[in-house]
Amino acid sequence: MTVSNTATGRDVVVTAMVATTSLAPELDATWSALVDGASGIRALDDDFLTEYDLPVRIGGRLVEHPSVHLTRIEQRRHSYVQQLALVLGRQVWAKAGTPGVDPERLAVSIGTGLGGGDAFISAIDAIRAGGYRKVAPLTVPMVMPNGPAARVGLEVGARGGVFAPTSACASGAEAIAHAWRLIATGEADVVVAGGVESYIEALQLSSFAMLRALSTRNDDPAGASRPFDRSRDGFVFGEAGALLVLESAEFAAARGAAVHGRVLGAGITSDGYHLTGTDPEGAGSARAMRKAIATAGLVPADIEHVNAHATATPVGDVSEARAITSVVPHASVYAPKSALGHSVGAVGALEAILTLCTLRDGIVPPTLNFSEPDEGVELDIVHGEARKQAMSYALTNSFGFGGHNVTLALGRA
């Protein structure tokens, strides 16, 4: 069926996409590697692993640190997530062709889960070692979670609003949902949107290890993340950043912009169940999926594919499987965290981009390490090898601590 968002307003298209991951420093190479079944999860070699005797020693490090694209002054004045946002912001704006848009009709929406934690830790170390005069003057701007969005907003000259969702692992997807609404309701013509996240460090590994949420398959890094599989034992951290440029279809057409896909709708709900645990029945997740489908002007039968949040935690995967089964049991399913790990605030945006690539190319990469489905998982999970599948509509799910649920409904260009 042909969809026009008459219920919510103007049609929204994607005119540029960039990503950096543990497989490659740019999107095309990452996508090709995923289709080929490659994994970006490797053994870590950081000194802090032995210093603190951490039980988890695997993760998906970025292939390329963002600082290589920045001057020394830019490196010194920005936290890691701001460096990542600044680099990706410049790249995605250039890929979009630097749209000539009225600044008051241009907005930015970039989410992050943890913000500039590295700058906060450095400031604490500095003041304890040498007093307040050793604290960097820009510490607060570097720490604040809205820093990445604000930095990109300054870079592109946005005056239509800068938004910074901080909803844990749903942050990147929620940022895209806000961008879609801004354009669909006529508040903006162009929005730079997506998510970034901090790098793998001792504190994050320690906290999640104490929660018993991380896989401890240190002897098998590539086989550690096992979404939906009966033998899964937790998630694996991954590093990533991903940004898109969204535009109204009319604005993009008027300037002759290339279109890579469409954002058709979004569903945002909350579980009201537990701070770190998901509703075992997946009720909140299912409501987000239904809302996304409804706002897109679709019906469940139209959805041919689901990009699953699927972190490989014991409870979370079964909960999501039940939600998918209750809404779109016929759809094929892909779980990219099996190859890239979990990049928290960035992952929702990254997986939205991967879903758009699936729609564009008509191919679903294989979910790695899936050999025996857990009880309660009755899904068409693509595994073993990539599957050719022509499709028009897909969902991508993102869920976060605090009971945040975000589903995006996406369409082929």
* Catalytic residue set: 169, 309, 342
Ramachandran angles phi, psi of 245, nearest 5°: -110, 120
The number of C-alpha atoms within 13 Å of 115 and in the hemisphere containing its C-beta is 18
DSSP string for residues in 258-293: ---EEEEEEEEEE--S-SSPPPTT-HHHHHHHHHHH
What distance lies between CA 176 and its chain's CA centroid?
10
Which residues fall within 8 angstroms of residue 131, CB to CB, at 6 or more apart? none
Cα 33 to Cα 23: distance, rounded to the nearest angstrom: 7
Radius of gyration of the chain (CA): 20
Instruction: Report which DSSP code applies to 374.
Output: P
CA-based max dimension of the chain: 65
Can you give the three-state secondary structure of 166-224, one letter per residue? Answer: CCHHHHHHHHHHHHHHHHHCCCCCEEEEEEECCCCCHHHHHHHHHCCCECCCCCCHHHC
Instruction: Specify whether the CB–CB gap between 9 and 184 falls below 8 A.
Output: yes
